[in-house]
């Protein structure tokens, strides 16, 4: 397929391809992805929500080489790309706003030996108990090997790979990252809805992915973390709105103070987004400030509604 600009997306299992405008030969008028029509207007492929997510803001395809290759529609788009090499690969495409689109191929968990990736401490995902009963808690299919060269990769309009890294071992590379597209899409919808309500839409990730060893350091009385936290599975984030860049929640309720009430405003926005997009259902909770941080909201996309 000889395309000047290519653009497509696929939602298949846990994989979603994000793509942009495509200049097509004049004779080609339609295309389809898993029976989902993609219209071509004046020679340009115009994607729907299937392409850029429900938010329209996704910028990365993330998956294992096998999952990326299993759809026929991906074959012409990924032809020639080194999918067998884990990491970030350019699709050679631009989104409608000019952002570059990428493919992120996962490294197998087998690369983690002795609970480490080279010198980077990772730990081990649970394999018994809930992990044995619920596939959502099984070890992830792979991870993104993050390096100084790719950590700034844009994965959605608001977020980069580096926003979700575990907060330890700052000078150790490569790092392990698990990140699901469903979380990115949900966060982008929340940011857009904030702006729709006249509030700032700049979201700051206080805690994204946590390696199992890092999560274990705060389990129970040590820090209040769940032993099977969704943060270990790449679909959870603790976040707050920070338009002024001061590192704490903004005054969303306009009372001149930064309190848990501001977190509850963000919570309400996230609740509304989930009501409109039940496919992105997950956990949601507002937390007050502590001596270590300001108020924030936990958001995840585990697949079922959870509140605490």
Residues 101, 200: Cα–Cα separation, whole Å: 26
Q: Which of 64, 89, 105 is the last residue of a domain?
A: 105
Mean pLDDT of 262-280: 98
Return the structure tokens found at 238: 């603790």
**CA angle centred on 178, ends 174 and 182, rounded to 5°:** 145
Mean pLDDT of 139-160: 98
Percentage of residues of the chain with pLDDT beyond 90: 69
Q: How far apart are the first and last CA of the chain?
A: 50
Report yes or no on 208 lying in a domain.
yes
State the residue for tokens 């000019």: 98
Same domain, 233 and 127: yes
Same domain, 72 and 169: no
Same domain, 79 and 188: no
Same domain, 38 and 64: yes
Poorest-confidence range of 14-23, 175-184, 265-274, 298-307?
14-23
Q: Which of 67, 86, 105 is the last residue of a domain?
A: 105
User: Domain containing 204: what range?
Assistant: 109-307
Same domain, 39 and 186: no
Residue 298 has pLDDT above 50, yes or no: yes
Same domain, 137 and 224: yes
CA 36 to mean position of chain CA atoms: 23
Top pLDDT among 163 and 27 is at 163
Q: Which of 105, 127, 154 is the last residue of a domain?
A: 105
CA distances (Å), origin 8, targets 5, 80, 177, 236: 10, 16, 25, 26
Domain count of the fold of the chain:
2
> What φ, ψ does residue 50 adopt, rounded to 5°?
-65, -20
pLDDT digit string, tens, across residues 65-81: 998 888 665 666 778 88
Mean pLDDT of 53-72: 87
Confidence (pLDDT) at 192: 98
Percentage of residues of the chain with pLDDT beyond 70: 81
- The pLDDT-based confidence of 21 (bands split at 50, 70, 90) is very low
Confidence (pLDDT) at 261: 98
CA distances (Å), origin 56, targets 88, 192, 267: 21, 10, 22
Residue whose C-alpha is closest to residue 55's, from 18, 25, 91: 18
Residue 214 has pLDDT above 80, yes or no: yes
């Amino acid at each position: 397929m000889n395309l000047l600009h290519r653009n497509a997306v696929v939602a298949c299992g846990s994989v979603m391809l994000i793509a942009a405008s495509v200049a097509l030969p004049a004779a080609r008028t339609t295309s389809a992805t898993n029976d989902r029509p993609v219209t071509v207007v004046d020679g340009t492929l115009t994607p729907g929500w299937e392409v850029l997510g429900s938010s329209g803001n996704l910028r990365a395809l993330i998956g294992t080489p096998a999952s990326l290759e299993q759809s026929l529609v991906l074959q012409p788009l990924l032809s020639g790309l080194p999918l067998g090499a884990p990491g970030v690969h350019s699709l050679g495409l631009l989104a409608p706003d000019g952002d570059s689109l990428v493919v992120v191929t996962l490294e197998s968990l087998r690369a983690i030996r002795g609970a480490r990736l080279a010198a980077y401490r990772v730990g081990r995902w649970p394999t018994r108990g809930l992990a044995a009963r619920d596939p959502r808690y099984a070890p992830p299919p792979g991870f993104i090997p993050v390096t100084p060269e790719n950590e700034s990769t844009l994965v959605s309009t608001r977020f980069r790979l580096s926003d979700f890294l575990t907060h330890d071992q700052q000078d150790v590379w490569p790092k392990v990252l698990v990140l699901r597209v469903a979380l990115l899409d949900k966060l982008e919808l929340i940011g857009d809805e904030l702006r729709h309500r006249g509030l700032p839409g700049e979201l700051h990730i206080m805690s994204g992915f946590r390696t199992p060893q890092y999560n274990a350091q705060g389990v129970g009385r040590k820090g209040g973390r769940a032993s099977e936290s969704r943060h270990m599975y790449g679909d959870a984030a603790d976040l707050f709105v920070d338009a002024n860049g001061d590192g704490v929640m903004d005054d969303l309720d306009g009372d001149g103070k930064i309190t848990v009430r501001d977190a509850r405003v963000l919570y309400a926005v996230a609740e509304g987004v989930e009501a409109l997009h039940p496919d992105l259902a997950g956990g949601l909770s507002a937390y007050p400030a502590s001596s270590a941080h300001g108020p924030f909201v936990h958001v995840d996309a585990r697949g079922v509604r959870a509140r605490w």
